[in-house]
Amino acid sequence: MSIKHIWIVFKKEVRDIIRDKRTLITNLLIPIILMPILVYFMGGGMEKMEKDIENVTIALTEKSDTAEIRSLLEQNIFGDYPNVSFNGVVADPTAAIQDDVVRFVLDVEEDFAAKLGEGTPYKIFVHYDETDTKSLSSYGILTQAIQEYSQKQVEQRLIDMNIDLQILQPVSIVPINEADENAGGNFMLMMIVPMLASILIAVGGIPAATDLVAGEKERATFEPLLTTQAGRMSILLGKYMTVTMFSFVSVIAQLIGLLIGGLMSPSFFTMTSPGGQIGNFNIPIGALLLTILILVTLGMVFAAVELGISTYARSFKEAQTYLSFLTIIAMVPGYATMMLQPDDLQLYMFFIPLLNAIAALKMSLGGLINYTYLGIALGTSMLYVILSLAAAAWMFNQEKYLFRS
């Protein structure tokens, strides 16, 4: 094995790939263009959705269309809700809801005023569509308004009866948030980045890995290469470095794309978990470095596995097929853990290849750093680098796979 030969092989392979327009476009250009578009639509879409939920449109049934009821709703109940608007009267509530004419149709009992006076409860019927997410979310706003109004009526009655309002609240709850200041983080990033990173690291090296062994076998350049004075391990390592590098080229391209997307629609990055707060997004430098190292080792493992598969394959086509299966395998842990929150992370996850990198990334983005866990992830990753490289080297020395013809 000689550093000089490894370097010669590496330089040649990089030059060769850089001249391949197709690889460059898939590895570099598409991520840089595609990511901002993705971010823009996802960010923009969610923003629009949130606005939509707030903007509640309400119609009345024909029999509820009286001045009394109108004043009850528009002034008393929804007076403090400027985003709630009344859109006339509908004859058929079912049709109006299903055709999305309005979000709610309200039907108030005609004799409500009398009942109110008597102190007996009256009903407001709310027509809505439970299968519509927006309708369901807006429903909260609607009921809140009605409950507030109801509460006011109760208080008024108690005051009239000379009863202290405190009787309504035998216990009061005092919330004290003890969450770690650094916790929280960015929900969107925590969900998407680990999954995306693992898939991209897997996919990024595939064109290079296919070309560098299976392609070379097919083009009949492999045998002359093996008869140079470069040892087989030097050739393998030169190719290995190339594949590892290209795993990261596409990741970096993707991050650049994500950044451009973030500049275009900043709201994407400030979206929070449901009910959570906008987290302060800062990863301690030590955790950041550990995570980057873990990701690099993940790229090295993928590079070795991909080269091993490319060596095993009978042809370029066959290598492409096997490697596309690898992409699918790489996707599984990413998707499976997408909704996982940093405090759901389990110790065992930091031992399993690929899952350990995803978990480490999630932990860092979440801000709840456990350095023991990160250390375990890095340690196991390094072990997997050695194992996968040994497997690739073994494959590269198998005469029956290297010379299939």
Partner 1 sequence: MIETKNLTKHFGEVVAVDNLSLHVNRGEIYGLLGENGAGKTTTLRMLATMLQPTSGNAVLAGYDLVKNPEKVRSSIGILFGGDSGLYDRLTAAENIAYFGRLNNMSELLLQDRIRELTEVFGMEEYIKRRAGKFSKGMKQKAAFARSIIHNPDIMLFDEPTSGLDVSAIRNVHEFILDCRSQGKSIILSSHSMSEVEKLCDRIGIIHKGKLVAQGSIAQLQEQHQGKSLEDIFIEVAGGGK
- Of the listed pieces 6-14, 185-193, 286-294, 338-346, which binds partner 1 according to CB under 8 A? 6-14
Q: Which stretch binds ligand ADP (CB under 6 A): 29-37, 177-185, 251-259, 396-404?
A: 396-404
Q: Do 26 and 259 contact (CB within 8 A), yes or no? A: no
Nearer to ligand ADP, 130 or 399 (CB): 399
Euclidean distance between CA atoms 55 and 282, whole angstroms: 34
Work out whether 315 is an interface residue with partner 1 (CB under 8 A). Answer: no
Please, which residue, 20 or 129, has the CB nearer to partner 1? 20
| Minimum separation from the CB atom of position 329 to ligand ADP (A) | 28
Closer to partner 1 by Cβ: residue 42 or 226: 226
Three-state DSSP class for residue 375: helix
Residue 217 CB, shortest distance to ligand ADP, in Å, is: 12
Q: Pick one of ligand ADP, partner 1, none as the site partner of residue 343 (Cβ within 5 to 8 A by kind).
A: none
22 is in the binding site of which of ligand ADP, partner 1, none (Cβ under 5 to 8 A by kind)? Answer: none
Q: Determine the size of the site formed for partner 1 (CB under 8 A).
A: 25
The Cβ of residue 390 has, within 10 Å, a number of other Cβ atoms equal to 11
| 188 burial via Cβ count (<10 Å: 0-12, 13-18, 19+) | buried
Largest CA distance in the chain: 103
CA–CA dist 244, 303 (Å, integer): 5
Give the C-alpha separation, 125 to 105, whole Å: 8
DSSP 210: I
Binding mask 199-238 for partner 1 (x = CB under 8 A): --------------------xxx-xxxxxxxxx-------
Whose Cβ is closer to partner 1: residue 21's or residue 275's? 21
Strand order in the sheet with 56-61: 84-90, 56-61, 104-108, 124-127
- 285 touches which of partner 1, ligand ADP, none (CB within 5 to 8 A by kind)? none
Under DSSP, is residue 84 helix (H, G, I), strand (E, B) or coil? Answer: strand
Binder to ligand ADP among 19, 21, 22, 400 (CB under 6 A)?
A: 400
130 lines the binding site for partner 1 (CB under 8 A): no
Does residue 348 touch ligand ADP according to CB under 6 A? Answer: no
- Among partner 1, ligand ADP, none, what does residue 231 contact (CB within 5–8 Å per kind)? partner 1
The partner in contact with residue 75, picked from ligand ADP, partner 1, none with C-beta cut-offs of 5 to 8 angstroms by kind, is none
User: β-strands 56-61, 104-108: how paired?
Assistant: parallel
Asked whether position 403 contacts ligand ADP by CB under 6 A, the answer is: yes
Three-state DSSP at 106 gives strand
Helix (H, G, I), strand (E, B) or coil at 397: coil
Q: Could you give the CA distance from residue 144 to residue 153 in angstroms, rounded to a whole number?
A: 14
Smallest gap from residue 214 Cβ to ligand ADP (A): 16
Specify the residue for token string 């929070």: 272
Based on the shown chain and the rule CB under 8 A, indicate whether residue 22 belongs to the binding site for partner 1. Answer: no
Shortest separation between residue 403's beta carbon and ligand ADP, angstroms = 4
The 10 Å Cβ neighbour count of residue 237 is: 24
Which listed range, 10-18, 88-96, 250-258, 369-377, lies at the site for partner 1 (CB under 8 A)?
A: 10-18
For position 15 contacting ligand ADP by CB under 6 A, the verdict is no
Would you say the C-alpha torsion 291, 294, 296, 302 has a positive or negative sign? Answer: negative
Spatial distance between the Cα atoms of 28 and 19, rounded to a whole number of angstroms: 13
User: Does 3 help bind partner 1 (rule: CB under 8 A)?
Assistant: no
Alpha helices in 55-111 (DSSP H): 67-71, 93-98
* CB of 10 or CB of 112, closer to partner 1: 10
- By CB under 8 A, tell whether 401 contacts partner 1: no
Complex with ligand ADP: residue 97 or 213, whichever CB lies closer: 213
CA distances from 233 to 16, 155, 279, 386 (A): 20, 84, 48, 14
User: Contact residues for partner 1 (CB under 8 A)?
Assistant: 5, 8-9, 12, 15-16, 19-20, 219-221, 223-231, 399-400, 402-403, 405
Site residues, ligand ADP (CB under 6 A):
399-400, 403
